[in-house]
Amino acid sequence: MKHTSLLSTVAVMTVIACGAVSAQTIDEVRQRGHLNCGVSPGVSGFSNPDDNGNWAGFDVEVCRAVAAAVLEDADAVRYTPLSNTERFTALQSGEIDMLSRTTTRTLNRDTALGLNFAPVMFYDGQGFMVREAMGVSSVMELDGATVCVSAGSTTELNLADYFEANGLSYQPVRFDRADEVLAAYDAGRCDVYTSDRSGLAARRLVMNDPSEHVMLPETISKEPLAPAVRHGDDQWFDIVTWTVYALIQAEEFGITQANVDEMAASEDPNISRMLGGEGSPVGEWVGLDNNWVYRAIAAVGNYGEIFDRHVGPETPLQIERGMNALYADGGLHYAMPFK
């Protein structure tokens, strides 16, 4: 696993050394007329194409919001499905402009891999799924188990650390693609399936018999999932960062996809400034026009609307807000001031 991580780091640093990284992503995006966004190759609720090839999901909405802010068209996005091992090289080489793909922010990725992470969109943690017929109620009962896991992911490293720390042996069954991990577990090639808890919930939906599988209670890691851009382009980093903050702040202000026109006329100076009212400098500050925040919210709604629409309690995933609630409601989401 460490060997794989080292190879990935060397590959990415080679790309950087070859000068393939652009410093003016916004100019390239405007010139080509669409945003290239890297996503997961099909995870229910987060990024999934329908039968007509139209992508939808929690991560997809971030791409759409950035496209709306920059190109005035939320549909001006081309999605590139990427595996765990493909995603970082695709970003560093310029194949994609941003990565919005259930990716955990870590020290290594933030530094050695040359990435800049926008604010966290989804706070998650790693969990375990087993067949109910095993009669297992805790990870502590999994000594000697075979575990299906994605290669080259933080999940693989967390698995190794947790089992070593607790004196448990296991046999990893590694696959590069998430769909391969799922297929192997569903076919009975391993005893346990480990991934982010949201990912387990999403993939259980497409198993042969979802009712046969249960998640164990332990959450063994912190997985702050955030969009990422490459190092070397501060303006692009600012645009993606503050588009995410705009979605979070919109929920706090009560600005929705349905009422954004009404709220644009608000006499509250904080709301008026964020939505580009008269005299607002928000466009000048990021190098866009003053309506970029308005367009992002009009296109996809606020953070809470996105959450509820794709992964919330009324969706098949049935995920509660929990840590993903606003700070005022006991969660961890908090936007920086638009001042």
Tens of pLDDT, residues 258-267: 999 999 999 9
**pLDDT at site 244:** 98
| pLDDT cut 70: percent of the chain above it | 93
pLDDT at 14 (0 to 100): 43
pLDDT of residue 221: 95
pLDDT digits 0-9 by tens, 187-246: 999 999 999 999 999 999 999 999 999 999 999 999 999 999 999 999 999 999 999 999
The Cα 170–Cα 145 span in angstroms is 5
Q: What is the pLDDT of residues 60-90, one digit of tens each?
A: 999 999 999 999 999 999 999 998 889 999 9
H-run or E-run covering 123: strand 122-124
Domains along the sequence of the chain with CATH: 25-121+226-329 (3.40.190.10), 124-223 (3.40.190.10)
Contacts with 89 (C-beta within 8 Å, 6 or more apart), sequence order: 8, 11, 12, 15, 95
> What is the reported pLDDT for 166?
97
Over residues 327-335, mean pLDDT: 97
- Give the containing element (helix H, strand E) for 44: none
Q: For residue 177, what pLDDT is reported?
A: 83
- Selection from 201, 80, 61, 196 nearest residue 121 by Cα: 61
Mean pLDDT for the stretch of residues 325-337: 97
Average pLDDT on 4-16 reads: 43
pLDDT for residue 23 = 60
The pLDDT, as a whole number, for residue 125 is 96
Q: What is the DSSP string of 152-171?
A: TSHHHHHHHHHHHHTT--EE
Report whether pLDDT(20) > 70.
Answer: no
